[in-house]
Amino acid sequence: MTKSARTTPAPKLSRELIIRSALEMIDESGAQGLSMRSLGQQLGVEAMSLYRHVHGKEDLLEGVVALLMGDLASTLEEESGEHWQAFLQTVAHEVRRIAGDHPMAFPLIATRHPAAPWLRPPLRSVEVVDVFLRALIGQGFTDEQAVDAYRAFSSFLLGQLLLESAVHGAQTGPVEEPLDEGDASVPQEDGKVSLDDAPEVRRLRSLLSEDRSREEFEVSLETLLDRLDRELSQ
């Protein structure tokens, strides 16, 4: 450690500063190397000081995902009255923008939410899933059709964008599921792990938790083959 580094005062800690610093670390080297200890070193404080603002790595990752998604849920709320095709276009381009801005951190979005580990495909922001379902049901989709659309659309979107993130060096394997050390309530409601704000996700749990990956794979494969056949016959 240099003399200047020793004499530079540590920044005043806050939840926002900690989460933004964690995102910066992930953007630089990926989520695999993030720990409370390494983050404390980055901020020039002892790791234990971070626990006054975040209750462990689980809470930290919830805050990072909330920061990553930013205003996505509110943007989708504003667009939910549009035609469903226009709505899905907005979803796709907004999520792709996030992946482009933060390719190393983007894989965190495609991980299990601690309050909904049964969500298939997994998406860490259940608020976004809830807006998605409500928007399509409001456009006349049945519960089953809305869940099928979520499955198909998120599988396509996350699959495509995870590949793009991998090109930029992201590790797209599952992040180790951390424990929420401290077993305390999440401060400032920024990383809450309940489904209180996602009533549609909670209501449609039985449909959202079904494992239909084999069937969905075959449907996607047939759709691709049909498209290639049409192109070849033109």
Residue-by-residue pLDDT tens, the chain, 234 positions: 444 445 556 668 999 999 999 999 999 988 888 889 999 999 999 999 999 999 888 889 889 999 998 878 888 988 888 899 999 999 999 999 999 999 999 999 988 888 899 999 999 999 999 999 999 999 999 999 999 999 999 999 999 999 999 888 887 664 444 433 333 344 344 445 688 889 999 999 999 999 998 998 899 899 989 999 999 998
pTM of the predicted protein model:
0.80
Residue 33 amino acid letter: G
pLDDT given for residue 9 in this prediction: 62
Helices marked H in the chain: 3-7, 15-29, 36-43, 47-50, 57-69, 72-79, 84-101, 126-138, 143-167, 199-203, 205-208, 213-233
* CA–CA separation, 228 and 209 (whole Å): 32
Please tell me the distance from the alpha carbon of residue 178 to that of residue 57, in angstroms, as a whole number: 6
Assign residue 140 a region (left: φ > 0; alpha: ψ between -120 and 50; beta: otherwise).
Answer: left
User: Would you give the DSSP letter of residue 113?
Assistant: B
Q: Is-cis flag, bond preceding 174, omega within 30?
A: no
